[in-house]
Amino acid sequence: MRTGLKALTRVALPVVVLAGGLVLPALPAGAAPVRYEAENATISQGLVESNHAGFSGTGFVNNDNVAGSYVEWTVNAASATSNAVLAFRYANGGGANRPLDITVNGNLVSNDLAFPSNGWTNYQSVTINAALNAGSNTIRATGATATGGPNLDALDVDTAPVPGRGNPQPPANVSTGWSIPWAVSFLPDGQSALVTERDTFRVFRAGLNGSKTQVGTVPNSTTTGGEGGLMGVAVSPGWNGSSDQDVFFFHTSNDGGAQANRIVRMSFNGTTLSNRQIIVNNLPASRFHNGGQLKFGPDGFLYATTGDAQNTSLAQNLNSPAGKVLRFTRTGAAAPGNPFNSLVYSYGHRNAQGLAWDSAGRLWSAELGNVSTDELNLILPGRNYGWPQCEGNCGVSGMENPKRTWTTAEASPSSLAIVNDTAYVAALRGQRLWRVELNGTSAGATTAHFNSFGRLRSVVKVPGANAIWIGTTNADGNGGQGPGSDRILRSEIR
Residues 84-142 have pLDDT tens digits of 889 899 999 988 889 999 999 999 988 888 888 888 988 888 878 788 999 999 999 99
Residue 429: CA atoms inside 13 Å, Cβ hemisphere, count?
15
Q: Is residue 80 part of a domain?
A: yes
Do 115 and 221 sit in the same domain of this protein? no
Q: Both 240 and 116 in a single domain?
A: no
Q: Is 8 within the bounds of a domain? A: no
Is residue 263 included in any domain, yes or no?
yes
pLDDT-based confidence at residue 31 (cuts at 50, 70, 90) = very low
Query: pTM of the predicted model, to two decimals?
Result: 0.72
Q: Are residues 110 and 81 in the same domain?
A: yes
Q: Tell whether 253 and 333 lie within a shared domain.
A: yes
Q: What are phi and psi of 410, to 5 degrees?
A: -80, -25
Q: How many helices (H) and strands (E) does the chain have?
A: 0, 37
CATH of residue 64's domain is 2.60.120.260
**Number of structural domains in the chain:** 2
Q: What is the spatial distance between Cα 128 and Cα 446, in angstroms, rounded to a whole number?
A: 5
Same domain, yes or no, for 110 and 250?
no
Q: Tell whether 481 is covered by a domain.
A: yes
Collapsing DSSP to helix, strand or coil, 255 comes out as helix
Catalytic residue among 251, 289, 349, 449: 289
Beta bridge pairs of residue 325? 305, 346
pLDDT tens digits, one per residue of 185-233 = 999 999 999 999 999 999 999 999 999 999 999 999 999 999 999 999 9
Q: Is the dihedral of CA 304, 307, 313, 315 positive or negative?
A: positive
Integer Cα distance of 97 and 391 in angstroms = 12
Same domain, 190 and 320: yes
Of the chain, the percentage scoring pLDDT greater than 70 comes to 93
The string of pLDDT tens digits covering residues 51-67 is 999 899 999 999 999 99
The domain boundary, picked from 110, 136, 158, lies at: 158
Boundary of a domain, candidates 158, 190, 214: 158
Domain interval for residue 288: 172-492
Statement to judge: residues 331 and 281 lie in one domain:
yes
Residues 178, 151 share a domain: no
Answer whether residue 72 is part of any domain. yes
What is the CATH number for 317? 2.120.10.30
Q: Classify 314 as helix, strand or coil.
A: helix
Specify whether 447 is located in the same domain as 386: yes
Residue 21 has pLDDT above 70, yes or no: no
Instruction: Determine, yes or no, domain membership for 61.
Output: yes
- Say whether both 81 and 215 belong to one domain: no
Known catalytic residue: 52?
Answer: no
Helices (DSSP H) in 229-275: which residue ranges? none
pLDDT the model gives residue 494: 87
Same domain, 235 and 96: no
Residue 231 lies in a domain: yes
Contacts of 397 (CB under 8 A, 6+ apart): none
**What is the average per-residue pLDDT within 371-390?**
97
Domain-located, residue 5:
no
- Of 95, 123, 158, the domain-final residue: 158
Based on the domain organization, do 349 and 486 belong to the same domain?
yes
